[in-house]
Amino acid sequence: MKQYDVDVAIIGGGPAGLAAALAAVEEGAAKVLIIERNEELGGILQQCIHPGFGLQRFRAELTGPEYAQRFIDMVSQADIDVLLETMVLEITRERQIFAVNSRDGVLSIRPGAVVLAMGCRERTRGALKISGDRPAGVYTAGAAQRYVNIDGYVPGKKVVILGSGDIGLIMARRFALEGASVEAVVEALPYPAGLPRNVIQCLEDFDIPLHLQSTVVGIHGDSRLEAVTIAGVDENWLPIKGTEHRINCDTLLLSVGLIPENELSTQAGVVLDPNTSGPKVNEYLMTSQFLIAIEPGNNFVIADCW
């Protein structure tokens, strides 16, 4: 079994993991290791081809891949070790990490400290408990974004988007640019959840309807989605009877929040915070396990990075 002894091991090579690695080097760590399960660093940024990144850090407007590449270049210049296509299997309470990849088989990594930057996953239809049929054509917004921006495949022509967070707004514009008809963006809150600039640039500039204080209550279709039913909601986000109406569509995107990746955290004995669903931390972002920390924007408080 191949073994690594490092000062800091960072699990996750997305934007937070890259920033954490550079910060560790700046603070004097001699051996820093990034462990990433995908074939490239950058995480979600690689599929965010729209501009708007880097305005604060680099004083330049960059696309997601350009922004990621700036950090990847800095990581390379800092001689930070990287393990790509490597899956972490376990973190013990003694901070020993077991991982696996196709090159080396099982790896044992003994770090002085661990930074958790595993990111998050999207809420699916199952988490929302939307009633109705189970046709093809229901996607999370991030999955649809990858289909369009990475795979070059537009998964629908008539689209309804549930959720007005930034990724939902950006995907509304993306589908419009690809020639699809975005029938509606549906939001349970009484105001849009995304940035004001995205509301203007992604909805208003493309005349895309925004239905506030509403939600999807029904999904209809056999082999393919044919329509959804939306309804108004009260102050408790419960559907109001008599407000239902049907929108014909072949695609429904779910942009309804993110869930922290907590499997490794709980495995290591980290106490979770019921308010954030991520690890409970102190003012130094240290978890309940000694020398296991988190990187903000990932397991601590999920921030919409699209």
Helices (DSSP H) in the chain: which residue ranges? 15-26, 64-77, 125-128, 141-149, 166-177, 196-198, 263-267
Q: For residue 103, how many C-alpha atoms fall within 13 Å in the half-sphere facing its CB? A: 7
Residues 182 and 35 in one domain: no
185 within a domain of the structure (yes/no)? yes
Burial code (b: 16+ CB inside 10 Å, e: under 16) for 12-33 equals bbbbbbbbbbbebbeeebebbb
Residue 300 inside a domain? The answer is no
**Three-state secondary-structure class, residue 291:** coil
Q: Is residue 34 located within the same domain as residue 115?
A: yes
Indicate if 267 and 239 belong to the same structural domain: no
Non-local (6+) Cβ contacts of 16 within 8 A are 117, 119, 295, 296, 297, 298
Q: Looking at the structure, do residues 98 and 151 belong to the same domain, yes or no?
A: no
Domain presence at residue 265: yes
Starting at the edge strand found earlier in the chain, the sheet holding 245-248 runs: 131-132, 214-221, 225-232, 245-248
> Do the domain assignments include residue 153?
yes
Range of the domain at 85: 2-121+258-294
pLDDT score for 217: 97
Question: What is the reported pLDDT for 93?
Answer: 84
Q: Answer yes or no: do 187 and 95 share one domain.
A: no
Domain assignment of residue 13, yes or no: yes
Whole-angstrom distance, CA of residue 243 vs CA of residue 69: 48
Look at residue 179 and tell me if it is in a domain: yes
The pLDDT, as a whole number, for residue 304 is 34
Same domain, yes or no, for 246 and 130?
Answer: yes
- CA dist., res. 50 & res. 48, Å (int): 6
Residues 249 and 275 placed together within one structural domain of the fold: no
Residues 269 and 244 in one domain: no
**pLDDT tens for residues 47-62?**
999 998 999 999 999 9
**158 is a domain residue:** yes
Q: Are residues 178 and 246 in the same domain?
A: yes
Bridge-partner residues for 75, per DSSP?
none
Q: Residue 299's pLDDT is what?
A: 43
Specify if 301 maps to a domain: no
| Residue 39 near residue 142 (C-beta atoms within 8 A) | no
pTM score of the predicted model: 0.85
DSSP secondary structure letter of residue 47 = G
Domain count, the chain: 2
Whether residues 242 and 269 fall in one domain: no
Beta strands, E only, 1-130:
2-11, 32-35, 51-53, 62-63, 81-83, 87-91, 97-101, 105-116, 120-122
Q: Which residues contact 23 (CB under 8 A, 6 or more apart)?
A: none
Q: What is the pLDDT along the chain (306 residues), one digit of tens a residue?
A: 899 999 999 999 999 999 999 999 999 999 999 999 999 999 999 999 999 899 999 999 999 999 999 999 999 999 999 999 999 999 988 889 999 999 999 999 999 999 989 988 899 998 888 999 999 999 999 999 999 999 999 999 999 999 999 999 999 999 999 999 999 999 999 999 999 999 999 999 999 999 999 999 999 999 999 999 999 999 999 999 999 999 999 999 999 988 888 888 888 788 888 877 777 878 777 777 766 666 655 444 333 333
Whole-angstrom CA distances from 252 to 186, 187, 236, 257 are: 11, 13, 24, 15
* Together in a domain, 132 and 249: yes
Clarify whether residues 21 and 44 are in a common domain. yes
Cα distances (Å, whole numbers) of residue 279 to 2, 123, 159, 296: 30, 19, 36, 11
Q: Is 245 helix (H, G, I), strand (E, B) or coil?
A: strand
In the structure, how many helices (H) and strands (E) does the chain have?
7, 20
> Which CATH number fits the domain that encloses residue 45?
3.50.50.60
